[in-house]
Amino acid sequence: LTVDGKSYSFPVLEGSEHEKAFDISALRDQTGYVTLDRGYKNTGATQSAITFLDGEEGILRYRGYSIEDLASKASFLEVAYLLIYGELPTANQYETFSNGIRRHTLVNEDMRKIFDGFPVSAHPMCVLASLVSAMSAFYPDSYEGNKNPDLHIVRLLAKLPTLATWSYKRALGHPINYPKNQLDYIPNFLHMMFALPVEDYKVDPVVAEALNVLLILHADHEQNCSTSTVRLVGSSQANLYSSISAGISALWGPLHGGANQEVIEMLEDIKADGGDVGKYIDMAKNAKTTGFRLFGFGHRVYKNFDPRAKIIKKAADDVLAKLGVNDPVLEIAKGLEEAALNDPYFVQRKLYPNVDFYSGIIYRALGIPTNMFTVMFAIGRLPGWIAQWKEMREQKEPIGRPRQIYTGATLREFVPL
């Protein structure tokens, strides 16, 4: 802080000793007195050229391209290339990139031994984080001098869906499906998830398109919890696999990637209670007394609407219509949405359904189990994490070291027992 030409270069927390020492209350409502504290360099805002987000206007762009355009016209791998390398690929670049991914979908059989050590009941997210971390051991050139970064990027993009489907198959007691590399990225994932080994699996184009949209919408969201984790871990020069594994762990938390799971669990609770949508809308309006929170509505960043939600809603409608799904939980979701959008309480507070509200509905309709929802988020977010990790390394950002403000005891004298 600079006050009347005098500089105070330390943070001031409300109620802290610093605040007591320097009366800053008079400055609270003034602006223009704040100067950069260099001590904040590792915890302050990150410069990034990847994703533009305006929470007031509800705008989301990857490398300058609107999310609406990309979701309706591009493939997930084109968007991955765009995020990671900064430009949309030419036809030749796309062929090299996507063929590279096709060639690397198989996972070393020794990784299966690690996988087999997990309890069958293990949550797929801890299995995924562990196996991605284990990839360092199989590709030591990723940490010995960070060699071949582009090859590791391709490897990870190729293998994550394979690893993701392992834990799903195992929980069912099914043998795993090896990738079929004549298939494109999303059909190959659906084949590994759902095909019986003897079946010639036909992927429904509406389903593949809905997943393409979902993955694109989740591909990056600037500095959220998992992304800044990837950057922070990578800032110590930790390799790609370790950094992404840390991001997967961060995403696993219910406040971040687990939100769509909470939506579905809430819908299940409403169903078990008789499915009275109006009752729960009233409870949400009286949250202070009822304690009921409507999951999947509103967003920490978006003050208006989550631009991803509009796009995903259409995908949800298309998928439900195409599959002719008749699931009471989905009917409750639609009922909640309709009631909220027509209720001045929600409209005035701009409490619209967000991306997490619809994504769970689509996954559920596709038969993807609830504990795989966050895994789907991780597959979608992978290109963003990679892009952020790569950018952070290329910008030669210093090692992260969040600043601490000490709030503990002052000097105490040790008295032996």
Residues that bind ligand MLT (CB under 6 A): 221, 224, 300-301
Nearer to ligand MLT, 104 or 221 (CB): 221
* Range list of H helices, 294-372: 307-323, 328-341, 344-348, 355-366
Nearer to ligand MLT, 152 or 299 (CB): 299
Q: Report the C-alpha gap between 109 and 333 in whole angstroms.
A: 42
Closest approach of ligand MLT to the CB of residue 223, in Å: 8
With a CB cutoff of 8 Å and minimum separation 6, the contacts of 300 are none
Nearer to ligand MLT, 224 or 239 (CB): 224
Q: Report the C-alpha gap between 333 and 298 in whole angstroms.
A: 15
Phi, then psi, of 315 in degrees rounded to 5: -60, -40
Q: Report the C-alpha gap between 126 and 375 in whole angstroms.
A: 10
Phi, then psi, of 51 in degrees rounded to 5: -125, 130
Nearer to ligand MLT, 102 or 221 (CB): 221
Closest approach of ligand MLT to the CB of residue 269, in Å: 23
Closest approach of ligand MLT to the CB of residue 67, in Å: 11
Catalytic residue, candidates 104, 191, 299, 306: 299
Residue 152 is among the residues annotated as catalytic for this protein: no
Q: Nearest-5° angle of CA 118, CA 371, CA 373?
A: 125
Catalytic residue, candidates 152, 191, 221, 356: 356
Closest approach of ligand MLT to the CB of residue 208, in Å: 22
- Of the candidates 166, 178, 171, the one whose C-alpha atom is nearest the C-alpha of residue 134 is 166
Nearer to ligand MLT, 151 or 301 (CB): 301
Residue 356 is among the residues annotated as catalytic for this protein: yes
Closest approach of ligand MLT to the CB of residue 354, in Å: 8
- Of the candidates 347, 336, 361, 353, the one whose C-alpha atom is nearest the C-alpha of residue 283 is 336
Report the catalytic residues: 299, 356
